[in-house]
């Protein structure tokens, strides 16, 4: 079964559970209970939902059955048939049939493989009921304005007539609310009424409206004492009055006579199958997963403690019995293996396909394109690529901003595109794919590209750079990430007001990602986002500079090399090394974090890290080894610190800092040009 049908089965099971629960409430409801119409309406809505959902997936059997149940419920709402045990049993049997059909879809048998002949015949016969006989206008029976029937829906008119037939006390409340808050106040009034009775209708009233107000008249019934009704609904801003009965009595709509002793037909042995769930999917609140991941993180730290103890025991030599040391080592190794399995399992639960985000992004993007009056073909690739749920939600704003930029600034108007020999319809492609321990998101358009000269001119005007400075293409594009930087003349609702690529970069840095731009004039622009697959637990390389230990995420590391200080060169004020015909910039952690310098007289280590198609080297004095670490936030006081992703605790209760490779790369760009990574 493909993923879309799995999603359908999971969603359908939720709806059917709600449908079954609502039907069960009808079993014990009193015919005069004011909650009865609301419960029937709830059942009706759930049946409508399953009909709409199955229609989206072209499941004709489920759609047809739920539609017939919907028709029956509509007859029940309008009192064309009476609510009885037999009707409730038939509705319950309908739910069980729907469950069987959803199970057939889950098993790959199709929803039309379930035999429903006899059940459908009985359902069709029952839903017909008897034709409703028209009475006079409602004003002939209670004190309401003449012609009110003309402004009521069929269901509202039925509720009025049914309440009259049962002799329910009627009330009318007139009110007027300010235009800017009327929806909130009207909903609060309606909720108060529904707590003590049935709200029949809400009608707008022009004669109650002031210059900045809007008026309403609400009709409702309640068996609460009039004094209690006044306490709940009445106020200085509202007029509450009782609606009197007149002498006439309406003839109610005909009700079909039902043989309530007719037993509903259930297949032998069907009960267990109908109660058993269909979907293998469990929906879990992300907060529970965060809690579980925190517990796994604590276990990772405890495991590191055991490894540390094992190493110390080995260093004690013959003072520890050999067999005891061996057993302890085996137990530690087994625990480590099981913990890795647990960690991977929990992390896998947090992963969701990019298709979830694409569906939302596509809908909004089409609306923006329509508002801009541009013809654009939107293409989304990599629906099945998975990403941590929390990271995905953080990417909503950056991705939307980039796509909006492509639509507004990138894709030209049809006339301009024709003059350039391009088709009228522009193209925007959003791609997602996995690369090692990262997910790459790309937004590419075939628009006008970015005018580098215009960017530099604007930067000079703003005072960000000097007129005589020499810039590479990367340097110029880097200016786009300055806060508030924009070359757009004027402000539109689509473009926003000074919220630019700097916000995109900040959002990426929050999750340890990076952003890169590639552009060609009149050919288009490509924005590349590099993201970690997950943030919770990661494998890292521990390094030591002086007395400080740092962790570098393994997903960002290409390799480690050992070299001497003489092999480090300086180019335009930037330290670099040559590695297999590549010139790579170096960055020294002691300069960023004010640490003792790594001694140049002996061999030093360089960790080659890469992200967003770029590479650089981190100079360190010692490589300690690989270890799983749990990243914890540093807090607001460190929010402006360059190059730090968070902190982690080791098994000996010491705390280390986790490096933000993307942030360090941005610092390297600030210090000088960077070498490109080759593939």
What CATH number is given to the structural domain containing 387?
A: 3.30.565.10
Q: What is the largest CA-CA distance in the chain?
A: 110
Same domain as 649, residue 563: yes
Domain boundary among 243, 263, 278: 243
How far is 562 from 540, CA to CA, in rounded Å?
Answer: 19
Sequence-ordered strand ranges (E) for 495-611: 514-520, 524-532, 537-545, 548-553, 557-563, 569-571, 574-579, 582-588, 604-611
pLDDT at residue 179, as a whole number:
83
Same domain as 337, residue 323: yes
CATH of the domain at 631: 2.40.50.180
How far is 307 from 319, CA to CA, in rounded Å?
Answer: 19
Token pair of 503, please? 């916000």
Whether residue 254 lies inside any domain: the answer is: no
Helices vs. strands in the chain: H and E counts, helices first:
20, 22
Same domain as 456, residue 543: no
Whether residue 256 lies inside any domain: the answer is: no
Same domain as 98, residue 153: no
Give the model confidence (pLDDT) of 474-522 as tens digits: 777 878 877 766 655 443 333 332 346 888 888 887 787 888 899 999 9
Where do the H-state alpha helices sit in 222-285? 226-233, 270-275
Beta-bridge mates of residue 551: 542, 658
- Pairing of the two strands 614-620 and 582-588: parallel
Neighbours of 368 (CB within 10 A): 18
pLDDT at residue 89, as a whole number:
79
Whether residue 262 lies inside any domain: the answer is: no
Same domain as 340, residue 421: no
Whether residue 266 lies inside any domain: the answer is: no
Give the model confidence (pLDDT) of 412-471 as tens digits: 999 999 999 999 999 999 999 988 778 999 999 999 998 888 888 888 887 777 777 767
In residues, how long is the chain?
679
Sign of CA dihedral 310, 311, 314, 315: negative
Domain boundary among 185, 216, 243: 243
Same domain as 372, residue 337: no
Domain boundary among 84, 100, 132: 132
Whether residue 318 lies inside any domain: the answer is: yes
pLDDT at residue 612, as a whole number:
66
Same domain as 292, residue 414: no
pLDDT at residue 71, as a whole number:
83
pTM: 0.53
Identify whether the C-beta of residue 594 lies closer than 8 Å to the C-beta of residue 611: no
CATH of the domain at 95: 1.20.120.160
Token pair of 359, please? 């569906």
Same domain as 363, residue 502: yes
Identify whether the C-beta of residue 135 lies closer than 8 Å to the C-beta of residue 161: yes
pLDDT at residue 151, as a whole number:
86
Whether residue 296 lies inside any domain: the answer is: yes
Low-confidence stretches of the chain (pLDDT beneath 70): 1, 27-28, 31-32, 113, 127-136, 208-210, 247-283, 285-286, 317-318, 363, 470, 484-500, 535-536, 598-602, 612, 635-641, 651-652, 667-679
Same domain as 157, residue 102: no
At residue 118, φ and ψ (nearest 5 deg) are -65, -40
Where do the H-state alpha helices sit in 438-481? 452-462, 473-478
pLDDT at residue 599, as a whole number:
62
Same domain as 502, residue 377: yes
Same domain as 387, residue 299: no
201 contacts: CB under 8 Å, gap ≥ 6: 152, 156, 160, 218, 219
CA distances, 652 to each of 57, 305, 552, 655 (Å): 55, 6, 19, 9
How far is 116 from 98, CA to CA, in rounded Å?
Answer: 10
Same domain as 369, residue 229: no
Whether residue 269 lies inside any domain: the answer is: no
Burial (Cβ within 10 Å: 0-12, 13-18, ≥19) of residue 536:
buried
Q: Under the phi-then-psi rule, with left for phi > 0, alpha for psi from -120 to 50, and beta for the rest, what region is 12?
A: alpha
The residue range of the domain holding 237 is: 138-243
Q: How many domains does the chain have?
A: 5
**H/E element, 629:** strand 622-630
Whether residue 249 lies inside any domain: the answer is: no
């Amino acid at each position: 079964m493909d993923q879309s049908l799995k999603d359908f089965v999971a969603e359908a099971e939720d709806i059917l559970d709600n449908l079954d629960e609502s039907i069960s409430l009808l079993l014990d409801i009193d015919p005069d209970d004011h909650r009865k119409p609301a419960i029937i309406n709830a059942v009706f809505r759930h049946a409508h939902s399953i009909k709409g959902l199955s229609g989206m997936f072209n499941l004709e059997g489920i759609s047809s059955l739920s539609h017939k149940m919907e028709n029956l419920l509509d007859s029940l709402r309008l009192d064309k048939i009476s609510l009885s045990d037999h009707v409730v049993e038939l509705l319950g049997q309908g739910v069980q049939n729907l469950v069987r059909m959803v199970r057939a879809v889950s098993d790959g048998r199709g929803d039309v493989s379930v035999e429903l002949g006899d059940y459908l015949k009985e359902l069709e016969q029952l839903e017909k009921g008897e034709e409703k006989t028209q009475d006079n206008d409602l004003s002939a029976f209670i004190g309401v304005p003449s012609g009110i029937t003309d402004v009521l829906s069929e269901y509202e008119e039925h509720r009025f007539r049914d309440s009259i037939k049962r002799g329910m006390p009627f009330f009318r409340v007139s009110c007027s609310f300010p235009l800017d808050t009327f929806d909130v106040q009207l909903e609060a009034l309606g909720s108060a009424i529904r707590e003590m009775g049935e709200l029949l209708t809400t009608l707008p009233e022009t004669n109650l409206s002031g210059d900045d107000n809007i008026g309403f008249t609400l009709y409702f019934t309640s068996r609460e004492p009039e004094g209690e009704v006044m306490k709940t609904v009445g106020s200085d801003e509202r007029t509450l009055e009782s609606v009197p009965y007149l002498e006439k009595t309406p003839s109610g709509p005909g009700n079909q006579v039902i043989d309530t002793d007719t037993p509903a037909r259930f297949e032998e042995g069907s009960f267990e199958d109908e109660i058993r769930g269909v979907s293998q999917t469990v929906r879990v609140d992300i907060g529970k997963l965060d809690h579980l991941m925190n517990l796994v993180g604590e276990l990772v730290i405890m495991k590191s403690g055991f490894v540390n103890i094992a190493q110390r025991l080995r260093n004690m030599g013959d003072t520890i019995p050999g067999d005891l040391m061996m057993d302890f080592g085996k137990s530690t190794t087994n625990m480590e293996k099981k913990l890795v399995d647990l960690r991977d399992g929990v992390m896998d639960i947090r992963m969701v396909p990019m298709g979830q985000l694409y569906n939302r992004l596509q809908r909004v993007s089409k609306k923006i394109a329509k508002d801009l009056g541009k013809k654009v073909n939107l293409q989304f690739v990599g629906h099945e690529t998975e990403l941590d749920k929390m990271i995905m939600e953080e990417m909503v704003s950056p991705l939307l901003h980039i796509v909006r930029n492509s639509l507004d600034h990138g894709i030209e108007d049809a006339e301009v595109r024709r003059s350039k020999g391009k088709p009228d319809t522009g193209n925007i492609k959003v791609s997602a794919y996995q690369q090692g321990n990262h997910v790459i998101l790309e937004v590419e358009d075939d628009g006008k590209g970015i005018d580098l000269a215009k960017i530099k001119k604007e930067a000079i005007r703003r005072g960000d750079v000097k007129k005589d400075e020499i810039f590479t293409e990367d340097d110029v594009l880097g200016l786009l990430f300055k806060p508030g930087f924009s070359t757009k003349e004027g402000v539109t609702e689509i473009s926003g007001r000074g919220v630019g690529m700097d916000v995109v970069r900040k959002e990426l840095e929050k999750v340890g990602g990076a952003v890169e731009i590639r552009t060609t004039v009149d050919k288009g622009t490509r924005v590349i986002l590099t993201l970690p697959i997950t943030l919770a637990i990661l494998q890292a390389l521990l390094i030591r500079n002086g007395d400080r230990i740092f962790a570098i995420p393994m997903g960002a590391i290409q390799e480690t090399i050992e070299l001497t200080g003489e092999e480090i060169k300086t180019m335009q004020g930037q330290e670099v090394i040559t590695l297999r015909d590549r010139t790579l910039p170096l960055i020294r952690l002691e300069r960023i974090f004010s640490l003792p310098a790594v001694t140049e007289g002996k061999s030093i280590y360089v960790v080659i890290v890469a992200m967003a198609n770029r590479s650089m080297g981190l100079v360190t004095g010692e490589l300690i080894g690989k270890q799983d670490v749990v990243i914890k936030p540093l807090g607001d006081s460190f929010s402006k610190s360059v190059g730090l992703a968070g902190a982690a605790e080791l098994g000996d209760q010491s705390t280390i800092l986790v490096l933000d490779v993307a942030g360090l790369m941005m610092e390297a760009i600030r210090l000088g040009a960077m070498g490109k990574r080759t593939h």
